[in-house]
Amino acid sequence: MEQNVSVIGAGNMGQGFGVHFAVHGHDVTLVDHRDSNLERAADRMADAAAELRDGGIADVTPETVLDRVTFTTDQAAGVADADVVLETVPEDLGIKREVFTALGEHAPDDAVLASNTSGIPITEIQSAVPDCADRVVGCHWWFPPYLLEPVEIVRGERTSDRTMDRIRAFVEDVERRPITVEKDVPGFVWNRIQNAVIRECLHLLEEDVASIEDINAAVRDGYARRTSVIGPFETMDIAGVEQFRTVAEHLYPHLCSATEVHGTFDDRLAEGATGIDAGRGFLEYDEPEAEIVARRDRRLAALRRCFESFEE
């Protein structure tokens, strides 16, 4: 069913939402506080649409995608006719609360008010709009949203069953896989798992167990490839629950249990090694950011085509 979707925030994720929802036949309003951000978003959305077409993922053109998207800096007008509002502003509770306070005033009384937060408890966001907290829900997408399928649907303390059902139906309508998170814990499911892996990787690096390149390869080319076709619980079942229980007994005492952020982060930041935007982070880069991201997306698209060929 075609719906009006308003996306608050024209950063990387907001751009991705605009592309994905437009590809699936919805009218999208992309809202940001700066015209320059919206102009950049339009350019990047056109590039993403072309990648989807060239990669055989969607039969679209940049023009057909952008024709379904309205760009505006007027948030009140941008959400006035929305069936679903999806917020994707910076991970700052104060900023998100301001956004949702405004949504409570300007969005339709029956609109679903969803947050793409990757870890802030939904219940804390709901407190900004006590009169419509039942319509506030977490809706956390993997990036890029037009290529990766799981979406966490997070129930806050006051989220109604109707809101959960509506956002789940919307996610399924745009061909994504809802992951229902019934307990509003920090980090939800995906980021708790991701950060547990990253914490152990940093620990191995700091303990001089292996190099950045080799740890990266072990996860990317080994663990991640296997988990792309079989999840952790299936892995334990195939290998045998008793075997994993035995390994856990010997290994758990040696795993990283740090409760403070690794100093390696601060070391990199102090050196100006902030990531691909600076040409170096944990690794060094000699290509433009856009090319690095495009290559990642091409590889993800190729993996998707491969998996789809086996499912046919």
Instruction: Please write down the HEC assignment for all residues of the chain.
Output: CCCEEEEECCCHHHHHHHHHHHHCCCEEEEECCCHHHHHHHHHHHHHHHHHHHHCCCCCCCHHHHHCCEEEECCHHHHHCCCCEEEECCCCCHHHHHHHHHHHHHHCCCCCEEEECCCCCCHHHHHCCCHHHHHHEEEEEECCCCCCCCEEEEECCCCCCHHHHHHHHHHHHHCCCEEEEECCCCCCCCHHHHHHHHHHHHHHHHHCCCCCHHHHHHHHHHHHHHHHCCCCHHHHHHHHCHHHHHHHHHHHHHHCCCCCCCCHHHHHHHHCCCCEHHHCECCCECCCCHHHHHHHHHHHHHHHHHHHHHHHC
**What's the pLDDT score for residue 117?**
96
The pLDDT > 90 percentage for the chain reads 86
**What's the pLDDT score for residue 249?**
96
**What's the pLDDT score for residue 278?**
94
Cis, bond preceding 144 (omega within 30 deg of 0) = yes
130, exposed or middle or buried, with CB in 10 Å at 0-12, 13-18, 19+? exposed
- Alpha-carbon distance values, 136 to 163, 165, 242, 263, 308 (Å): 8, 12, 42, 36, 34
| Residues 6 or more apart in contact with residue 231 via CB below 8 angstroms | none
**What's the pLDDT score for residue 79?**
97
Class of domain 192-311: mainly alpha
What type of residue sits at position 225? R
And the tokens for 240? 């045998």
- Alpha-carbon distance values, 21 to 33, 37, 187, 238, 305 (Å): 21, 19, 25, 38, 20
In the chain, CATH 1.10.1040.10 covers 192-311
| Residues 6 or more apart in contact with residue 143 via CB below 8 angstroms | 12, 13, 16
Handedness of CA 52, 289, 220, 16 (dihedral sign): negative
**What's the pLDDT score for residue 182?**
94
Class of domain 4-181: alpha beta
Which regions of the chain are under pLDDT 70? Answer: 311-312
What pLDDT, in 10s, does the model give residues 167-225? 999 999 999 999 999 999 999 999 999 999 999 999 999 999 999 999 999 999 999 99
The pLDDT > 70 percentage for the chain reads 99
Q: How far is CA 211 from the centre of its chain?
A: 28
CB 148 within 8 A of CB 142: yes
CB 154 within 8 A of CB 139: yes
In the chain, CATH 3.40.50.720 covers 4-181
Alpha-carbon distance of 35 to 10, in angstroms, equals: 10
**What's the pLDDT score for residue 293?**
85
Global confidence as pTM: 0.90
